[in-house]
A and B are shown apart, each in its own frame.
Chain A
């Protein structure tokens, strides 16, 4: 294919993005302590500059067609070689823009949010490491290279979740995130191994080409359905872990232990979308069985996470389950041949969910500041959980600007018309319904579960909104002496509101589909027009009505929630009463089940093996040693031998070799006959025997 002339320069610019991030990471890691406050501005400059680069690349690349580029070899060992293969097409350009843009906004927000943190220079470094890995992942087009960045993304997430390492929960939260992701990695690596055995390559373009046309390179055996399914499931497992999908979704709620801007950038907008991005890239490699698995897993995850979001009391907890649920829609989309809508939803979700997390961050920040002020004024600590939404209420008046922005994001999440979430989510739901109609039978469970999840989304986010923003401020009701705490709460400043406002713009539908902001098609939406669609279902009349039915159901859900929580007497209880509520609150006890069924058995095996190793394997060794050696009297002391060697060999070397050898011969009879000597002598004896034998024949 003839390459458009402007692509190479765009590619250089695109490659500069991760490079700048990683250089800043290195710089900040070494000199962060020296930079001090200058580091803040530098971080802003770097992320801003990279956003400008991302924008330039996007304008240059969008709408053009280009293939992947091989930038040379990374390493080779025998026939196995890995090249720096990158691709720059509409999808990766869009992802680059998304990542650099949101990174920049989060940096802006963080500058205020982390202002008082003495270790924030390390925070900038870790954030840059993350953005480096994420942009690298987006550009890479060789599976092993993607995996390398994939792991680094996980590593930076580990560092950022554990950023406040002195805390009680950060250690286990970061550990859990990394280990659960490693389970996915096992699948990812296994998938790569299987693909490599059958295709002899890890370059995605050649893999996709061979898979689509059913080719096999010479000297390789054709891939059987069994291995093809297994490879697909392996890659899927990897994607499910990173995108926090059932059965590996359990790490994401814990990951909220990190700073809130981190939750918004990494655990809502970008990193968790990497799994979906991988699936979208690898769709042509998947066997139909794998696609069905994706459809069911995604819909199921969307549903169970939405159910759990209904009862959470942590301001970020609700959003975390919401993220899992939304990612479920995207994964389902890949399975039902609507992956262009998955990508669309990935983009819209990135903005509105990032916005929701940052508004949560703004509230947490305002409460922290208020606590500080309270302490300086009253001399006593205002001790309460700043993330508990039951202790909130009435923020509509306390933080009015934040409130307005929040409503835009929430409406977008709920999928109300004229907001971005409406466009993308309805595309996915429609896709699921159309797919189920074609498949028939059990497949109808997929649209059923996802539509339910969509309606529940409206319910849990309105509960979230009502508890935080509406009614009266409830803190005084639960904490004595904090009745007039509300007076200390101030709206956050311009620099925190600015990124929120930018994000809010992108939560509006017209930004994504200017011609027809209530229905997104390849014609009406610039984004859908620019990405390849795998499969377009035939248009039928019921499809026109479908989105409106869902919106009506969502509205009904909102009204019901309003009635339920508006005047409700909120209680502070450790765990809600009622079985179903508890099931939801504890996320169906996945953690306890995994602990009992997987973690504990593995450690039991480990303990049993340890016993086996110490008593049986080593016991046998010791037993043999005792039987064979104890008769000789055993060794008295190695130190004895050592000092003997020191005195007689080491020191005597100086006195002349001959004397030493004679002494050795004479003395060796006198010292304790130990195991060691016997063996040394045995060896020497063997050697002498050999030599004697040779000399005998020689004569």
Chain B
């Protein structure tokens, strides 16, 4: 129940909001905030301590229940499980999510229209994201992944700025484009893997899956590999852990000759490589990777502040998470085959995003492009398939979550006062808004990778991890360093324009007077984020140690698997 409660808490909050009449606006806000705070407290009090003690298995906490089981006669059965679990990777992203959600919810208190629907959607978004980070069954993952689209679409499309409809539709179509392919892969996967315990039940070896001993499971797996497990005994599964389970360096539960057995081809290509590519495309849109990024600046510019916060801080991370949890777990050899290309697109995103950020006149667009640049480091780290690189990539996602949340809040502060985000319309804010200046200074320099603030460590770990990767050219990492230079250019130019010099506001008349320093609510939102940047910059091991072991294991496994696939490609004999 520990993990399920993380989903149940926002769900209960959501139901409570739905039954409440619209007019209880304050109560609705309080329920939404209460639910996210309660979720955070539960996570910090119950999940994190257990997770930090570590478990013996790969997943530290797991919860599993049978959900759907379809008997397919001579084809065995198809099983969908409600399977949640966390390892270091999901732990870190969950920690980020439960910390950002209360902040975004509190920031939403200034929303004026359709309060009830808005907060209901926020909680819906919350439970699907949190669920997504825990789901270990592909079907469940897919469901929650798709579910995220809806609230996000409406949050941008209804509460957004001038061009909100265009931005929302663009966001929707882009992401849906990716997930349609994911659906296809899921169809193929449904008959490619078996659950040995359930198969043992079908075969009559045990009376229930829980009673299946390791010996029986090994026996089933041997029969399967030797083409001796008849179709009617094959209990097909969507379970990601079973899909990536290995025996003697090979997949333990793959059905020989199935679509995603190694050696299978699809349209003339190796089916597994193709699947990796297609899934990767879907997640790359989410990250987003250049050239699949154009939805992001539009979505950010149009979205209201709290939605931008959620989008940048958490939603983009689902892309990175999906690549690791789905693409690299199930089809790791794709990572090896495309390592150079993935690193190339990572570096391309870093440089392209940074160069475009230099040209932006709208502060929010600048930060959106800088997001693309900083998420490029994630891709570069992943491409290394090396423990440091992947550690760095996940830590970079975490840090980018904290920093981008602060950056979008900071934009929201002046937008709330003047409804103007044009950089050139401001000058000398340092004189007028000293506390605001401190927050901006910390957030900008964190994003620039100043040592002592969090992003420095993750960017360095990514660079040193990727340069040390056996498969990648050193030049990828060396070129990526230029991104750090460009970041200084666009942030410092903006900072000079807006904060140095004598105070002035050059937008529509009268709004300049509204430029007062941070309110206590705004300080309350920004303070924990700035504090987190400093603390994690000084003691990065607080987060790094949460995932180090998991990610080392993960890297070793995908390394072995991908190598065995490369060695075995095309040399297997399908069952008669």
Which residues of A pack against B, CB within 8 Å? 73-80, 144, 147-149, 151-152, 155, 162, 165-168, 170-172, 174-175, 178-179, 182-183, 185-186, 189-190, 192-194, 196-197, 602-603, 605-607, 609-610, 613, 617-618, 621, 625, 629, 635, 637-639, 641-642, 645-646, 650, 653-654, 675-676, 679, 682-683, 686-687, 690, 694-695, 697-699
A176 (CB) vs chain B CBs: closest residue: B492
Supposing A196-B464, A638-B168, A642-B158 touch, asked if A695 and B70 sit within 8 A by C-beta, the answer is yes
Say yes or no: A679 contacts B484, CB within 8 Å: no
Say yes or no: B73 contacts A698, CB within 8 Å: yes
Say yes or no: A625 contacts B173, CB within 8 Å: yes
Inter-chain contacts of A170 with B (CB < 8 A): 500
B354 (CB) vs chain A CBs: closest residue: A606
- Residue from A75, A80, A149 in contact with B468 in the complex, judged by beta carbons closer than 8 Å: A80
State the CA gap A192–B548 with chains docked (Å). 23
State the CA gap A141–B497 with chains docked (Å). 38
State the CA gap A265–B552 with chains docked (Å). 46
Question: Taking the nearest CB of chain B, how far is it from the CB of A593, in angstroms?
Answer: 18
B555 (CB) vs chain A CBs: closest residue: A78
Can you list 6 A-B pairs with a CB-CB distance of less than 8 A?
A196-B464, A606-B355, A618-B294, A638-B154, A653-B18, A697-B72
Supposing A76-B541, A79-B388 touch, asked if A621 and B187 sit within 8 A by C-beta, the answer is no
Inter-chain contacts of B471 with A (CB < 8 A): none
Supposing A193-B467, A196-B464, A638-B158 touch, asked if A175 and B492 sit within 8 A by C-beta, the answer is yes
Inter-chain contacts of A697 with B (CB < 8 A): 72-73, 75
Inter-chain contacts of B180 with A (CB < 8 A): 682-683, 686
Say yes or no: A165 contacts B158, CB within 8 Å: no
- Residue from A149, A610, A683 in contact with B146 in the complex, judged by beta carbons closer than 8 Å: A683
Tally of contact residues, B, Cβ under 8 A: 90
State the CA gap A183–B487 with chains docked (Å). 11
Inter-chain contacts of B356 with A (CB < 8 A): 606, 609-610, 613
Chain B contacts with A in 169-214, Cβ cutoff 8 A? 169-170, 172-174, 176, 179-180, 183, 186-187, 190
Q: Is the C-beta of B512 less than 8 angstroms from some C-beta in chain A? A: no
Interface centre among B360, B395, B544 (most CB of A within 10 A): B544
B541 (CB) vs chain A CBs: closest residue: A75
Q: Is the C-beta of B460 less than 8 angstroms from some C-beta in chain A? A: yes
Say yes or no: A78 contacts B493, CB within 8 Å: no
Say yes or no: B544 contacts A165, CB within 8 Å: no
Say yes or no: B168 contacts A654, CB within 8 Å: no
Inter-chain contacts of B360 with A (CB < 8 A): 610
Supposing A650-B18, A697-B75 touch, asked if A676 and B431 sit within 8 A by C-beta, the answer is no
Inter-chain contacts of B386 with A (CB < 8 A): 78
Say yes or no: B544 contacts A638, CB within 8 Å: no
- Residue from B452, B465, B481, B493 in contact with A77 in the complex, judged by beta carbons closer than 8 Å: B465
Inter-chain contacts of A147 with B (CB < 8 A): 451
Say yes or no: A78 contacts B552, CB within 8 Å: yes
Say yes or no: B478 contacts A190, CB within 8 Å: yes
State the CA gap A48–B482 with chains docked (Å). 41
State the CA gap A251–B419 with chains docked (Å). 36
State the CA gap A683–B555 with chains docked (Å). 34
Say yes or no: B456 contacts A650, CB within 8 Å: no
State the CA gap A255–B428 with chains docked (Å). 20
Which 5 A/B pairs are nearest by Cβ-Cβ distance? A78-B387, A171-B500, A148-B451, A78-B388, A77-B391
State the CA gap A694–B499 with chains docked (Å). 62
Question: Taking the nearest CB of chain B, how far is it from the CB of A686, in angstroms?
Answer: 5
- Residue from B71, B154, B485 in contact with A645 in the complex, judged by beta carbons closer than 8 Å: B154
Say yes or no: A78 contacts B391, CB within 8 Å: yes
Say yes or no: A193 contacts B477, CB within 8 Å: yes
Inter-chain contacts of A171 with B (CB < 8 A): 496-497, 499-501
State the CA gap A151–B464 with chains docked (Å). 18
Question: Taking the nearest CB of chain A, how far is it from the CB of B391, in angstroms?
Answer: 4
Say yes or no: B294 contacts A621, CB within 8 Å: yes
11 additional A-B pairs beyond A675-B169, A698-B72, beta carbons within 8 Å, are A76-B541, A147-B451, A165-B499, A196-B467, A197-B468, A606-B355, A606-B356, A645-B154, A675-B173, A676-B153, A683-B183
Inter-chain contacts of A676 with B (CB < 8 A): 153, 169, 172
Question: Taking the nearest CB of chain A, how far is it from the CB of B98, in angstroms?
Answer: 23
State the CA gap A124–B172 with chains docked (Å). 52
Supposing A170-B500, A617-B294 touch, asked if A165 and B430 sit within 8 A by C-beta, the answer is yes
A159 (CB) vs chain B CBs: closest residue: B441
Say yes or no: A76 contacts B158, CB within 8 Å: no
Interface centre among A77, A144, A602, A653 (most CB of B within 10 A): A77
Of B113-121, B222-230, B274-282, B402-410, which binds chain A? B113-121
B457 (CB) vs chain A CBs: closest residue: A75
Say yes or no: B461 contacts A638, CB within 8 Å: no
State the CA gap A435–B450 with chains docked (Å). 40
Say yes or no: B78 contacts A642, CB within 8 Å: no
State the CA gap A170–B548 with chains docked (Å). 44
Question: Taking the nearest CB of chain B, how far is it from the CB of A164, in angstroms?
Answer: 10
State the CA gap A697–B76 with chains docked (Å). 10
State the CA gap A174–B495 with chains docked (Å). 11
Inter-chain contacts of A605 with B (CB < 8 A): 355
Question: Taking the nearest CB of chain A, how far is it from the CB of B507, in angstroms?
Answer: 20
A675 (CB) vs chain B CBs: closest residue: B169
B153 (CB) vs chain A CBs: closest residue: A676
Q: Is the C-beta of B489 less than 8 angstroms from some C-beta in chain A? A: yes
Say yes or no: A155 contacts B477, CB within 8 Å: no
Inter-chain contacts of A166 with B (CB < 8 A): 428, 430-431, 500-502
Say yes or no: B71 contacts A698, CB within 8 Å: yes
Q: Is the C-beta of B488 less than 8 angstroms from some C-beta in chain A? A: yes
Chain B contacts with A in 518-576, Cβ cutoff 8 A? 539-541, 544, 548, 551-552, 555
A603 (CB) vs chain B CBs: closest residue: B358
Say yes or no: B484 contacts A175, CB within 8 Å: no
Question: Taking the nearest CB of chain A, how far is it from the CB of B100, in angstroms?
Answer: 22
Say yes or no: A679 contacts B158, CB within 8 Å: no
- Residue from B70, B183, B501 in contact with A168 in the complex, judged by beta carbons closer than 8 Å: B501
Say yes or no: B484 contacts A185, CB within 8 Å: yes
Q: Is the C-beta of B55 less than 8 angstroms from some C-beta in chain A? A: no
A189 (CB) vs chain B CBs: closest residue: B481
Chain B contacts with A in 35-71, Cβ cutoff 8 A? 70-71
Supposing A147-B451, A155-B450, A617-B294 touch, asked if A186 and B117 sit within 8 A by C-beta, the answer is no
State the CA gap A186–B482 with chains docked (Å). 6
Inter-chain contacts of B552 with A (CB < 8 A): 78
